[in-house]
């Protein structure tokens, strides 16, 4: 019965979201034994799979995929942004996190985005050179490779250089993405020259997209190493652009950037171990916190996506997002009470005031949030035959970041400075309210929601997952975990099933298409406002069971691709 329901949902979701199925039957997960790659672009998946087939490990494949995505999916794949990578090895039973999140430039300050009336100037925080944090991607990927990989940086860059130099064929998703941000991408000449033809028209589906400047930048990094980006010609191009347009990043900021190796957040959910990203991401803390609250209920018996389950999830999420606003920030700058937030006792306490009816968000704490839309971060999951798995999420924040390509360097700048709390109590682009913990400070990392996650069962890698989606990343990720653990869904059904989201403010349950009218009615009877909006996230996942990899590419992205061998 449940299986039939899930299959119907799957077909429905695929019908709605998947325009372009590229590798076989998507009604079951892709299965393989020696390696699995799941990314949001088939060209990146193909290149990463070649690395595994040639004997490389998951970290080699991950770095190769990340550089390939920077070329084939410039809306979120990047070298101008930052992210987080979790690496786990079955043999050592260790999980480590590489934090290559962007940092505020040294000249950044608390009120830098406030106008003369002390209101947040969103144009400056989101679409100017000041909106860029110091990029971390190149340093982070190089560190991952050096510590855990087996191939050289130049080998990992080779496919990306080829894709940038020789180009690739434009897909409908690429074409629609550029058109949807035409205004933003035409504002600066360097961006316009990359994304549009000389006459200003858009490249069409089937055209070849070549990025000459980006190819040169990648070649320089390949020849001189990651430091080229931070001290060489590329750094000079970034700083020239900053000086010309009032940006803050200096040569010193770039020279001083370094990624960090961190201990991931660890929690448990019904005998599974959950590892996810620690601050400066809020992801791990709240994935674990929400699952801890849910553990107080028999979610499995309440049923998959039933009104009762959605109610419990929404109330758990609402409470976690209150804490996010209060406590979360860069732990190098503020004390984040991680132990308390992720403790079972605290979750039990929070669950005590969850009733059968909605708790109005205003009773937990007041706030007011707009609903800006962006899903443009990208996640990939990789597993190899040596027992390694990699869960990586990286981003330039919005779709195409600030829309600003660095002149002569060919890559987009992030607009991650908007993830700071520009003014306490005022929501950022995702409607997320922040406070003092996430205020702007020099060299500080802005708070993230990215939640690359690895779930282990009896000490062995079991689930590798993560998603884009701004504030929805946390809730997307934990729903896939619950779908597998509580509802026993196969990984593709878990990834494809319609999702819901609550983030305290706005005080509403946001749902995707695919929930029944009856369910919505029952939720409304509990006092909830239920709003159907665009699809949420693109959760590229792998499940590992009895030595077999099961890959599930999220059908919400038409270029998503799971490939195994
Ligand atoms: N820029 C979105 C995030 O890091 O959460």
565 falls within a domain? no
CA 449–ligand 1 middle distance (angstroms): 5
Q: Is 428 in the pocket of ligand 1 (CB under 6 A)?
A: no
- All residues at 6 or more sequence positions from 221 whose CB lies less than 8 Å from its CB, including other chains: 79, 138, 153, 157, 228, 229, 234
Nearest CA to ligand 1 atom 3: 448
CA 398–ligand 1 middle distance (angstroms): 9
Give yes or no: residues 166 and 269 share one domain: no
State the maximum Cα–Cα separation within the chain, in Å, rounded to a whole number.
63
Q: Is 419 in the pocket of ligand 1 (CB under 6 A)?
A: yes
421 falls within a domain? no
Cα–Cα distance measured from residue 321 to residue 33, given in angstroms and rounded to the nearest whole number: 39
171 falls within a domain? yes
Nearest CA to ligand 1 atom 1: 397
| pLDDT value for 150 | 98
CA 451–ligand 1 middle distance (angstroms): 10
Take residue 538 and report the two structure tokens written for it. Answer: 């693109």
Give yes or no: residues 341 and 394 share one domain: no
Bridge-based pairing of strands 35-39 and 377-384 is: antiparallel
540 falls within a domain? yes
Write b or e for each residue in 446-466: b if 16 or more Cβ atoms lie within 10 A of its Cβ, otherwise e. bbbbbbbbbbbeeeebbbbbb
Give yes or no: residues 548 and 518 share one domain: yes
Give yes or no: residues 124 and 55 share one domain: yes
Q: Which of 471, 505, 527 is nearest to 361 (CA)?
A: 505
Question: Is 421 strand, coil or helix?
Answer: strand
Q: Is the pTM of this model over 0.85?
A: yes
| pLDDT value for 374 | 56
Q: Is 80 in the pocket of ligand 1 (CB under 6 A)?
A: no
Evaluated on CA atoms 21, 185, 81, 330, the torsion sign reads negative
Question: Is 274 strand, coil or helix?
Answer: strand
Give yes or no: residues 492 and 549 share one domain: yes
Give yes or no: residues 393 and 460 share one domain: no
Q: Is 434 in the pocket of ligand 1 (CB under 6 A)?
A: no
End-to-end Cα separation, the chain, in angstroms: 32
CA 450–ligand 1 middle distance (angstroms): 6
- All residues at 6 or more sequence positions from 270 whose CB lies less than 8 Å from its CB, including other chains: 295, 485, 486
Q: Is 466 in the pocket of ligand 1 (CB under 6 A)?
A: no
> Which residue, chain included where needed, has tokens 């130049």?
154
Give yes or no: residues 156 and 298 share one domain: no
Give yes or no: residues 273 and 399 share one domain: no
Question: Is 11 strand, coil or helix?
Answer: helix
Write b or e for each residue in 378-391: b if 16 or more Cβ atoms lie within 10 A of its Cβ, otherwise e. bbbbbbbbbbbbbb
Ligand 1 pocket: which of 76, 430, 469 to mutate (most atoms <8 Å of CB)? Answer: 430
Give yes or no: residues 217 and 352 share one domain: no
Residue 207 structural domain: 2-256+381-415
| pLDDT value for 7 | 39
Tens digit of pLDDT per residue, the chain (565 long)?
444 444 334 433 333 333 333 444 456 899 999 999 999 999 999 999 999 999 999 999 999 999 999 999 999 999 999 999 999 999 888 999 999 999 999 999 999 999 999 999 999 999 999 999 999 999 999 999 999 999 999 999 999 999 999 999 999 999 999 999 999 999 999 999 999 999 999 999 999 999 999 999 999 999 999 999 999 999 999 999 999 999 999 999 999 999 999 999 999 999 999 999 999 999 999 999 999 999 999 999 999 999 999 999 999 999 999 999 889 999 999 999 999 999 999 999 999 999 999 999 999 963 333 334 455 799 999 999 999 999 999 999 999 999 999 999 999 999 999 999 998 878 888 878 778 899 999 999 999 999 999 999 999 999 999 999 999 999 999 999 999 999 999 999 999 999 999 999 999 999 999 999 999 999 999 999 999 999 999 999 999 999 999 999 999 999 999 999 9
Q: Is 429 in the pocket of ligand 1 (CB under 6 A)?
A: no
CA Rg, the chain, in Å?
22
Known catalytic membership, residue 377:
yes
Give yes or no: residues 394 and 537 share one domain: no
407 falls within a domain? yes
| pLDDT value for 436 | 86
| pLDDT value for 449 | 96
Ligand 1 atom closest to Cα of 416? 1
CA 293–ligand 1 middle distance (angstroms): 24
- Is the Cβ–Cβ distance between 245 and 191 less than 8 Å? no
Ligand 1 atom closest to Cα of 446? 4
43 falls within a domain? yes
Take residue 166 and report the two structure tokens written for it. Answer: 């020789």
Ligand 1 atom closest to Cα of 282? 5
Question: Given phi > 0 = left and psi -120 to 50 = alpha, else beta, which region is 248?
Answer: alpha
CA 446–ligand 1 middle distance (angstroms): 9
Question: In angstroms, how far is CA 44 from the centroid of its own chain?
Answer: 16
Give yes or no: residues 271 and 132 share one domain: no
Ligand 1 pocket: which of 102, 394, 397 to mutate (most atoms <8 Å of CB)? Answer: 397
Of 171, 377, 475, 519, which one is the catalytic site residue?
377
Ligand 1 atom closest to Cα of 471? 5
425 falls within a domain? no
Indicate the helix (H) or strand (E) that contains 519: helix 517-525
Cα–Cα distance measured from residue 168 to residue 306, given in angstroms and rounded to the nearest whole number: 44
- Partner residues linked to 267 by β-bridges: 274
CA 77–ligand 1 middle distance (angstroms): 13
CA distances from 15 to 210, 368, 490, 520, 537 (A): 31, 35, 19, 22, 17
Q: Is 503 in the pocket of ligand 1 (CB under 6 A)?
A: no
Q: Is 35 in the pocket of ligand 1 (CB under 6 A)?
A: no
In three-state form (DSSP H/G/I as H, E/B as E, the rest C), the secondary structure along 375-443 is: CCEEEEEEEECCCEEEEEEEECCCCCCCCCECCCCCCECCCHHHHCECCCCCECCCCCECCHHHECCCC
Give yes or no: residues 355 and 478 share one domain: yes
217 falls within a domain? yes
The CATH number assigned to the domain holding 464 equals 1.10.246.130
Please state the domain count of the chain: 2
């Amino acid at each position: 019965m449940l299986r039939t329901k899930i299959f119907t949902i799957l077909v429905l979701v695929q019908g709605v979201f998947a325009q372009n199925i590229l590798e076989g039957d998507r009604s079951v997960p892709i299965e393989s034994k020696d390696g699995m790659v799941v990314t949001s672009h088939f060209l990146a998946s193909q290149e990463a799979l070649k690395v595994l087939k040639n004997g490389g490990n998951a970290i080699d494949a991950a770095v190769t995929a990340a550089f390939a995505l920077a070329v084939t999916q410039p809306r979120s794949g990047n070298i101008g942004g930052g992210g987080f990578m979790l690496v786990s090895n079955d043999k050592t039973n260790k999980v480590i996190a590489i934090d290559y999140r962007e940092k505020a430039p040294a000249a950044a300050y608390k009120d830098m985005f406030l106008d003369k009336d002390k209101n947040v100037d969103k144009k400056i925080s989101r679409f100017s050179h000041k909106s860029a944090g110091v990029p971390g991607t190149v340093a982070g990927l190089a560190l991952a490779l050096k510590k855990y990989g087996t191939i050289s940086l130049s080998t990992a860059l080779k496919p990306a250089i080829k894709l940038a130099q020789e180009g690739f064929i434009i897909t409908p998703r690429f074409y629609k993405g550029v058109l949807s941000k035409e205004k933003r991408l035409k504002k600066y000449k360097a961006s316009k020259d990359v994304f549009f033809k000389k006459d200003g028209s858009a490249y069409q589906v089937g055209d070849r997209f070549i990025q000459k400047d980006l190819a040169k930048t990648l070649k320089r990094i390949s020849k001189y190493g990651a430091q080229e980006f931070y001290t060489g010609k590329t750094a000079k191009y970034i700083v020239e652009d900053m000086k010309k347009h009032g940006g803050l990043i200096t040569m010193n900021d770039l020279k001083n950037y370094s990624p960090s190796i961190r201990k991931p957040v660890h929690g448990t959910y019904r005998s599974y171990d959950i590892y996810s990203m620690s601050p400066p991401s809020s992801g791990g803390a709240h994935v674990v916190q929400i699952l801890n609250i849910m553990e107080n209920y028999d979610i499995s018996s309440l049923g998959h996506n039933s009104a009762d389950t959605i109610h419990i999830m929404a109330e758990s999420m609402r409470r976690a997002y209150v804490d996010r606003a209060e406590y979360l920030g860069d732990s190098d700058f503020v004390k984040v009470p991680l132990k308390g937030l992720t403790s079972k006792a605290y979750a039990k306490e929070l669950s005590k005031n969850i009733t059968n009816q909605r708790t109005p968000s205003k009773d937990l704490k007041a706030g007011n949030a707009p609903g800006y839309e962006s899903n443009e971060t990208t996640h990939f999951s990789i597993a190899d035959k040596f027992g390694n798995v990699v869960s990586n999420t990286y981003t330039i924040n919005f779709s195409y970041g600030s829309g600003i390509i660095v002149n002569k360097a060919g890559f987009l700048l992030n607009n991650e400075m908007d993830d700071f709390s520009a003014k306490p109590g005022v929501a950022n682009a995702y409607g997320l309210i922040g406070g003092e913990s996430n205020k702007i400070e020099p060299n500080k990392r802005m708070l993230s929601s990215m939640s690359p996650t690895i779930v282990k069962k009896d000490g062995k890698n079991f689930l590798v997952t993560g998603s884009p989606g701004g504030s929805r990343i946390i809730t997307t990720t934990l729903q896939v975990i619950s779908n597998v653990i509580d509802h026993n869904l196969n990984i593709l059904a878990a990834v494809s099933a319609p999702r819901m989201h609550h983030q305290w403010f706005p005080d509403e349950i946001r749902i995707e298409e695919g929930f029944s009218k009856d369910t919505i009615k029952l939720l409304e009877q509990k006092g909830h406002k239920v709003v159907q909006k665009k699809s949420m996230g693109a959760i590229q996942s792998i499940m590992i069971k009895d030595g077999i990899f099961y890959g599930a590419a999220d059908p919400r992205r038409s270029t998503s691709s799971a490939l195994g061998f």
